[in-house]
Amino acid sequence: MKPFDYAKHWIAVLSLEASVKNAARLFRDENIGSILVKDEDGAPVGLLTDKVLFNAIAEGVDLRDKKVADLKVENLVYIEKDADIEDVAENFPKSPSGRLAMTDKNGNIVGILKRKNIERFSAFRVAKSIVRK
């Protein structure tokens, strides 16, 4: 299996002008930890993570009238969807949240890969190999 197989292929998307309230609802309703943020032209500009939202709340920021653009959106770290585990591992340190935007050959984002998913996969493979012996 390739790392892309462990990526989330349905990607939640909001614009910079969306309300933080809409972002919070999307996090809750879809049980997700990141949202792809696009500008007014539909170009990806970054990821909004639940951690960013939680940090703003913890710092006492009044989010009631805020837009996604008012929050710190994480820069995207891109990797091709056909990348192997070594390439993926090299790129995770570039992403503060441990998420990579996986792209097709045309540069379209087709998945978001979390470091935790790869770590779980690696642990599962080791456990499976031990059980087989």
Its pTM stands at: 0.85
The Cα 132–Cα 105 span in angstroms is 37
How many independent structural domains does the chain possess?
Answer: 1
List, for residues 77-129, the tens digit of each pLDDT value. Answer: 999 999 998 899 899 999 999 999 999 999 999 999 999 888 876 654 544 44
Return the CATH number at 7: 3.10.580.10
- Tell me which residue range forms the domain holding 42: 3-132
What is the pLDDT, as a whole number, of residue 130? 47
Q: What is the pLDDT of residues 7-22, one digit of tens each?
A: 999 999 999 999 999 9
Supply the angle between the helices 20-30 and 50-58 in degrees, to the nearest 10. Answer: 120
